[in-house]
Structure 1
């Protein structure tokens, strides 16, 4: 599941790059950036030991 979180984060980071290039609003860039950060944090948290596999 951690791999899926990292894949989603990769797509979202790509989306942030495209939004910046297209001149989107700061709100939309920030929102997608926060979602990407949450996906990375979820992937890292999923890989931490001590969970329920």
Structure 2
């Protein structure tokens, strides 16, 4: 059950990256691309950091 959240975050990051690419191809404003791109990076980084072993349990 511990691996569900990182997988969900990676999936969300992938969907957001795909959305950013789609926005780019449609000629969306740069601001929208930056916002979606930052959200994608945050989701992916969150999934990666969740998998890093640390203190606690």
TM-score by length of 2: 0.87
User: What CA deviation, in whole Å up to 9, does each residue of 1:17-49 have, x standing for no partner?
Assistant: 100000000000000000000001100110000
Equivalent position to 1:36, from 37, 40, 51:
40
Q: Identify unmatched segments of 5+ residues in structure 2.
A: none
Which aligned runs of 4 or more in structure 1 are off by greater than 4 angstroms? Answer: none
Q: Identify unmatched segments of 5+ residues in structure 1.
A: none
TM-score by length of 1: 0.93
